[in-house]
Structure 1
């Protein structure tokens, strides 16, 4: 059964998609090789376009659908299994043959409004709890259909904690927060931690309302990884080191930070432009080495059951 991990942050531009892509590629490429499903839950579709060209994506989505199709099915439109939507081997390089993709589309942008508009009025606390769980379990139910076909399922979430991200968290066995070592990210990760804890408490409460015998407090293991660390000598580099030390020293995150990190070298930008992992575009480069380390640590932090 697959280990399902969400990659989250409340803000964009923090290396979330790049990290999802590279860890997925590393799991699939390096021994012991794993079968990986990438799910793009972000309407910006950046993970999707790291895996394929626009014309192929456009044709594929018209024929087979996208992640948005899963939510449309819940809303009463055309029923389609996630199995039918999965894009097998979207990348042509043989080294990446173990990776499949659930592509995204911009139509996911208004999924919260569409789900809320279809919500029936609840008259009892049990109905409220059931609606709460139903709206946030759409992706989880879809993933269960295919989970046995994969070793890892990695979900690239949008930079918020709205329903698409909540669906990803409800479907997950754990989550990874990517953050840059700057002041705003340091402040934000504390807020993010509190909000996710609140979401999980709400899930537990809803489950207990529906089933009074359910007294288990479900939690999700999570970790933090620093990415795009500034390597320019001088003040900025010192700030990065100080912020990493600050987060690692916080009581809430004791033992939660990856030892590995990635750095802001051009190799990663060049690889992204070529729609390739740095392992293939710039073998032996700084981030080739760093992402290999991060992927190795990822396996240890999120082992298969």
Structure 2
């Protein structure tokens, strides 16, 4: 199974809406592909989108999954691993996975979901404690960081592609998610904090430019390497939410150029950490989705199946322009084709 993650340790980059639209576009382009979406985020915003969004009871539908016996979510799965953290055998994948199109008819039928769960925050301390437990003959950190790898391995015969959405953090459950990914899409916006976010991401995942050698022995990169687990590779850096105009505004251009230059420098020094060899092949520019994006987010509607016209959002009637919707559909379609 091919596994792709969406992550940035900085919030506000539009990751959730971008991943939702891109995954649905990919599923639409590949109708015979069996797709698993894993939401490793306590806010579970992506899950709510798949389950209907604000307008179609996405939050209530998520609670339905949480109320199932054993809890049909990532939190339910982790809950079963806590008593036996070092044994990944016999995982009943189907107990935790749902089909979002049963709740939200506009979602492609070939997508299944391991929903997000606020329980992750409560589980985080226990998971971290287990990962750092000293047991002779057992690499506890590797065993715990492999929880999602175990789940995906158990689902290998049932799915072709897996997409993992992660929240903007580097908590233990985020590391569990990253450890399961072959590739990572890194969304950024046109601001200096996003530029620093790329540098931080490279430090967190690959141990590049750590402030002190003290951090090296406990770094994600070092622990993954020592445990002989493969590191994910940066596959795309998506400059997201750009100005709606055809040319990027001058106020953003310098920052965006700075991001490209930073990537070029890191790529030159550490090519093994990327799937691309030229910066132009690894950077995508995405314009702001504007009104149609807001409506899509509220209604849990992917562009691939969304219709234009006047639609309801929060008891208001909002007009979605056809040309704008068609343009957004083309943008995410192009991005989806670049995932593999």
What TM-score do the two structures reach when normalised by structure 2? 0.76
1:253-302 per-position Cα deviation (integer Å, ceiling 9, x unaligned): 4536333424252211111111111232246523222111111122xxx3
* Offset, 1:33: 5.0
Distance of 1:264 and 1:25 partners within structure 2: 15
Partner of 1:210: none
Within a 5 Å distance, the mapping from 1:87-98 to structure 2 comes to 87-90=98-101, 91-93=103-105, 96-98=108-110
1:118-140 per-position Cα deviation (integer Å, ceiling 9, x unaligned): 4684265x54xx01101201111
1:36-83 per-position Cα deviation (integer Å, ceiling 9, x unaligned): 211110000101100112332222221152101121111118x96222
- Tell me: CA distance 1:59–1:224, structure 2 relative to 1, closer, same or farther (3 Å): same
Distance of 1:290 and 1:39 partners within structure 2: 23
Aligned-partner SS, 1:14: coil
Aligned-partner SS, 2:10: coil
The answer to whether the aligner puts 1:266 opposite 2:291 as a matched pair is yes
Distance of 1:204 and 1:142 partners within structure 2: 21
Distance of 2:107 and 2:116 partners within structure 1: 23
* Offset, 1:170: 1.2
Partner of 1:146: 155
- 8 Å contact from structure 2 (residues 100, 107) kept in 1: no
Aligned-partner SS, 1:148: coil
1:9-35 per-position Cα deviation (integer Å, ceiling 9, x unaligned): 112221111122111101111256532
Aligned-partner SS, 2:227: helix
Partner of 2:210: none
Q: State the Cα RMSD in Å.
A: 2.6
> Which 4+ runs in 1 deviate beyond 3 A?
89-92, 116-121
Higher helix share: 1
Distance of 1:119 and 1:276 partners within structure 2: 38
Decide which of 78, 98, 101 is 2:113's aligned counterpart.
101
Q: Which runs of 5+ in 1 are unaligned?
A: 208-216
Structure 1 window deviating more from structure 2 (27-36 vs 269-278): it is: 27-36
Structure 1 window deviating more from structure 2 (251-260 vs 222-231): it is: 251-260
Aligned-partner SS, 1:279: coil
Aligned-partner SS, 1:155: strand
Distance of 1:263 and 1:47 partners within structure 2: 18
- Tell me: CA distance 1:111–1:237, structure 2 relative to 1, closer, same or farther (3 Å): farther
The answer to whether the aligner puts 1:246 opposite 2:267 as a matched pair is no
- 8 Å contact from structure 1 (residues 279, 288) kept in 2: yes
How many aligned residue pairs are there? Answer: 285
Distance of 2:59 and 2:243 partners within structure 1: 32
1:161-198 per-position Cα deviation (integer Å, ceiling 9, x unaligned): 11111111111111111111211101221111121103
Within a 5 Å distance, the mapping from 1:217-228 to structure 2 comes to 218-222=230-234, 223-228=236-241
- 8 Å contact from structure 2 (residues 39, 114) kept in 1: yes
Aligned-partner SS, 2:249: helix
Distance of 1:3 and 1:89 partners within structure 2: 21
Within a 5 Å distance, the mapping from 1:161-180 to structure 2 comes to 161-180=170-189
Partner of 1:63: 68
- 8 Å contact from structure 2 (residues 91, 151) kept in 1: no
Aligned-partner SS, 2:67: helix
Distance of 2:126 and 2:107 partners within structure 1: 39
The answer to whether the aligner puts 1:85 opposite 2:96 as a matched pair is yes
- 8 Å contact from structure 1 (residues 227, 261) kept in 2: yes
The answer to whether the aligner puts 1:197 opposite 2:206 as a matched pair is yes
What TM-score do the two structures reach when normalised by structure 1? 0.84
Within a 5 Å distance, the mapping from 1:119-134 to structure 2 comes to 121-122=133-134, 127=138, 130-134=139-143
- 8 Å contact from structure 1 (residues 73, 80) kept in 2: no
